[in-house]
Amino acid sequence: MSRRPGLQKKWAYVVNSLQEIIPSYETASSRIALFEDRRMREEAVRFAAREGRLVLDLGCGPGTMSRLVAGTGADPVLFDVSRAMLRASGFPNRVQGVFESLPFRPGAFDGAVSGFALRDARDLGVSLSELSAALRPGGRLAFCDLGKPDSRLKALFVALYLRVAPSVIGLASTGRPGLRYGSIFDTFVLVLPNADLRRLLLSYFGSVEMRETQLGGSIVVKCAKA
């Protein structure tokens, strides 16, 4: 890899964009994902959450994944850089911070989930190291997110969709602030190709399973800590 994976200098721009779209976040995000997001989130939660377990929701946003986690009988702990997103979730166990410095003791969590947020890490390698440390041995991480197909042709099709659709759907969903959904394309440009992401994950977890959908432009990833 020619650069450290993560948003790096684009991080502040993307985070500020998310702040402006909280009211329409769930509706517009689902439309942009062509309504596949619910199924992907449920698949991730089924893998990582169990009744009575403590589960970290990384980049929780307004609590979309945490509601599914709570539905399994697990206890979600919400973590996000945005205080406004945390307030919007309505959950009691909320922690504000950044992925690269998780304020939890080693092995604190039985599982972790993330819904369309892990790609927003400033430094993905550091974030994965922190996340792995926060999981107990045998703990599970599952997340759904944008993917970048290894095929250049498929990647081009996905890029063209993300270059246009998020801004149009955002505008239709919430007016002018919805144009901020265009930042999704910026994050897509910076994400690792799927094969490279899997190799990076294997540096921190004992097993990694990745399911690609929508030409590889969307992924569900399931990891277990050795």
Per the listing, tokens 């509601």 go with 67
The pLDDT value recorded for residue 178 is: 80
Which three-class secondary structure state does DSSP give residue 122? coil
- Contact criterion met (CB below 8 Å) for 110 and 54: yes
Which three-class secondary structure state does DSSP give residue 220? strand
One-character DSSP codes across 51-112: TT-EEEEET-TTTHHHHHHHHTT-EEEEEES-HHHHHHH--S-EEE--TTS--S-TT-EEEE
Helix axes of 183-190 and 11-19: crossing angle, nearest 10 degrees = 150
Instruction: Place 211 in a pLDDT band, splitting at 50, 70 and 90.
Output: very high
- Contact criterion met (CB below 8 Å) for 25 and 207: no
Per the listing, tokens 């003791």 go with 105
The arithmetic mean of pLDDT across residues 119-148, rounded, is: 97
**CA–CA distance from 78 to each of 7, 49, 96, 125 (Å)?**
21, 14, 8, 21
Q: For 10-40, how does the pLDDT look when each residue is reduced to its tens digit (9 = 90+)?
A: 777 676 666 666 667 788 889 999 999 999 9
The pLDDT value recorded for residue 29 is: 87
Distance CA 148, CA 119 (A): 11
pTM of the predicted protein model? 0.92
Distance CA 182, CA 167 (A): 5
Is the pLDDT at 183 greater than 90? The verdict is: no
Which three-class secondary structure state does DSSP give residue 223? strand
- Cα angle value 40/58/22 (rounded, 5°): 80
The pLDDT value recorded for residue 70 is: 98
Domains of the chain: 8-224 (3.40.50.150)
Give the burial class of 67: count Cβ atoms within 10 A of its Cβ; 0-12 exposed, 13-18 middle, 19 or more buried.
Answer: middle
Is the pLDDT at 2 greater than 60? The verdict is: no
